[in-house]
Amino acid sequence: MIAATDDADVNARVLAEADAQRTFCVRADLAREGTAVTPATAFVGGVQLGVLASGDHRRSAAVRSALAATLAGRTADEPAESDRSYAPKPVGVALVGGGPGDPDLITVRGRELLAQADVVVADRLAPARLLAELAPHVEVIDAAKVPYGRAMAQQAINEVLIDRARAGRFVVRLKGGDPYVFGRGYEEVEACVAAGVPVTVVPGVTSAFGAPCAAGIPVTHRGVTHEVVVVSGHVAPGHPDSLVDWNALGRLRGTVVVLMGVERLGAIAAALVAGGRPDDTPVAIVQNGTLAAQRVTSGTLATIAARAAAAEVRPPAIVVVGAVAGFALVGP
């Protein structure tokens, strides 16, 4: 029995009644007063731990954490990143956002799940160093989609995720940026759900905001812009498949961030000008944002296409259009 109300008198009466019935009782508010105590538990690497310290919950938790840390390969004084360190190994598929490029910018939760993966299905923009840190037994599947080059079909990716998960292996789908920002993440979630495979989504730092930030460009700024729009440039303005209202974007006064727009930069700039944006609007291109190879190419809507060509700008690159793109770069 457990006495776990917020009233000490009630807990005492529950304990007394349990004692009269010769039933063990845990008292949640005063553990030492109970006739039984609950252990501090952990589950690490297939080992279940239970630690009791005569009702001293703080001590039992500290000993539990130290033992779990040793089993998990951490030093005894290094705290676990979260209580998830003691949870059973996850199952199914996890879609993990790897962040804008620098491997240190993946979330704590994302790194935790990656460390438990049996299979990693990685995008081209997933941080490469994270893959190098995986244990030798982890199967790594390259699901890269290279612009104008080789690409693993989305249906094939979905099938790999489902097949490996059904075989009892924990699968991490590692993506660059955030899984739901032009990452086809929801398509993969739908496929897993339809197949009855458990799926978890872990957000990531999107390159749309992370890359400009690393380059010293704020996508919003008080008194300058009250809006920021993220748009895909993988389909040219005017193309029948385009879902973007470029005229509406041209009328905006705030920041426009374009992903996958390097190859169509001239057409995009022209469409924004045709929609009403002044041709002297500042533009900055952040290439390889957050990485050692990061560089910025600047210009205006009238000049950026020529400057990008002269600088031989190549993907991955983020295009920032608006007054904030003209701010002086301050760096870290």
Q: Show which residues are catalytic.
A: 123, 145, 260
Q: How many residues does the chain have?
A: 332
- Report the alpha-carbon distance of residue 34 to residue 19 in Å, rounded: 9
Type of residue numbered 140: V
Is the C-alpha dihedral spanning 207, 208, 213, 215 positive or negative?
positive
Q: E-strand spans in 90-178?
A: 93-97, 119-122, 139-142, 171-175
* H runs (alpha helix) in 119-179: 128-132, 154-166
Question: How large is the angle between the packed helices 185-194 and 154-166, nearest 10 degrees?
Answer: 40
Burial bucket for residue 48 (CB in 10 Å: 0-12, 13-18, 19+): exposed
- Count of alpha carbons within 13 angstroms of residue 121, beta-carbon side: 27
Q: Please name the helix (run of DSSP H) or strand (run of DSSP E) that holds residue 195, with its range, or none.
A: none
User: What is the chain's percent helix, strand, coil content, to nearest 5?
Assistant: 35, 20, 45
Instruction: Tell me which DSSP letter residue 89 carries.
Output: P
